[in-house]
Amino acid sequence: MNYSGLIRNERKVKIVEIDGTRGFMPDFLLYLQDESCTYQIFLEPKGDHLRLQDKWKEDFLSSLGEREDVEILTENEEVRLLGIKFYSETPELKERFRKDFIEKTIKE
């Protein structure tokens, strides 16, 4: 897997939940590339004080790679959207983020 870039989302990319009305702008977009495709990964660091009220965002991001109702509009068929569990400084949650990241990128 090759690192392509990490971009701070400066209010350019907004995600709206499917079959819903809530939207948000993930803090970071990470681009990775391997021999078969390019991954666009939405990353969202989250303080513990916001985790419960923003759980719907984490659930939505985590489901992106598995949903059949998400269509990627691009010039290239080899693009995959991935959402990773929230990043947090809490050791247990940081480990959960790390495992989810590895499972969805390196082991895929």
| pLDDT tens for each residue of 20-63 | 788 899 999 999 988 888 888 999 999 888 989 999 999 888 88
Helix (H) or strand (E) holding 23: strand 23-24
Q: Is the pLDDT of residue 3 over 80?
A: no
Q: What is the pTM of this model?
A: 0.76
State the pLDDT at residue 16.
83
Which residue's entry shows tokens 């923003």?
Answer: 54
Say if CB 8 and CB 27 are below 8 A apart.
yes
State the pLDDT at residue 29.
92
Handedness of CA 68, 71, 77, 80 (dihedral sign): negative
Distance CA 103, CA 108 (A): 7
According to the per-residue pLDDT averaged within each range, which of 56-60, 63-67, 77-81 is highest?
56-60
pLDDT band at 91 (very low <50, low <70, confident <90, very high): very high
Distance CA 61, CA 27 (A): 12
Write the CB contacts of 51 (distance below 8 Å, at least 6 apart in sequence).
Answer: 58, 86, 88, 93
